[in-house]
Amino acid sequence: MPIDYRVDHDRRQVLAEGHGTLTADEIFGYQREVWSRPDVAGYDELVDMTRVQEITEPSAQHMRALAHLSAGMDPPGHGGRFAIVAPRDLVFGLGRMYETFREMTPGSTKQVSVFRDRAAALGWLSGSDRPSEAEAQDPGASKPGH
């Protein structure tokens, strides 16, 4: 399968990497295989598409159907975060389309975001993009001169 993944139970994350040529069937197969596992419900997810050379038949229709399937597999309540790493323009655009469809799909509980590099995606997943408790209570506290 052109999408390899591993589960990090300590960090509550699924880390996947695509490579080569991906078909819609393989992408849907990954979704069904991983997210039908009860032991990963609510986990965060990173899918790194850096090594993907081609996606056959990329379409809005596939992204909408994938968003619908994915949302239907989300646990109720908090579904975690899903970061897509997509340095190439086509894959980035498809990722953004998927993100939009997920936001519009009833029952979707997972936050989705698309990144150009892995470091930014991992930072977002780890929550380092969130303000600290002190910053949340006093937004000026982290600014120079305060």
pLDDT given at position 58: 86
- Tell me the β-bridge partners of 48: 17, 85
pTM: 0.85
Query: Is the Cα dihedral 112, 114, 118, 124 positive or negative?
Result: negative
- CATH classification at residue 130: 3.30.750.24
Q: What percentage of the chain carries pLDDT values higher than 70?
A: 86
Radius of gyration for the chain, computed over Cα atoms and rounded to the nearest angstrom: 16
| Per-residue confidence band for 18, with pLDDT thresholds at 50, 70 and 90 | very high
Contacts of 39 (CB under 8 A, 6+ apart): 7, 9
Closest C-alpha to 81, from 130, 20, 32, 39: 130
**Structural domain containing residue 60:** 3-142
Rounded distance between C-alpha atoms, residue 7 and residue 18, angstroms: 15
State the chain's mean pLDDT as an integer. 87
Rounded to an integer, the average pLDDT of 61-72 is 95
Confidence category of residue 113, pLDDT binned at 50, 70, 90? very high
* Amino acid at position 68, single letter: H
The structural domain count of the chain equals 1
Q: Which of 26-30, 58-62, 123-127, 138-142 has the lowest mean pLDDT?
A: 138-142
